[in-house]
Amino acid sequence: MAGWTLAPGYQHLAADFGSLDAVFALQGERLTSDPLSEVVRA
């Protein structure tokens, strides 16, 4: 997946989820982690 668009109801989250770069730059408390996924509480 090279990218995505947010549904109209989620445009207020564009700063955090509007691009792949933004998603991978999220920082916060790591809740879980495994080789395929990571859950972070911002």
Instruction: Parse the chain into domains and list their residue ranges.
Output: 11-41
Confirm whether pTM is higher than 0.85.
Answer: no
Distance CA 27, CA 32 (A): 13
Half-sphere CA count of 42, side-chain side, radius 13 A: 10
Categorize the per-residue pLDDT at 25 as very low, low, confident or very high, splitting at 50, 70 and 90.
Answer: confident
Q: Which residues pair with 41 in a beta bridge?
A: 29
pLDDT of residue 1 exceeding 60, the answer is no
Pick the residue with more confidence: 4 or 1? 4
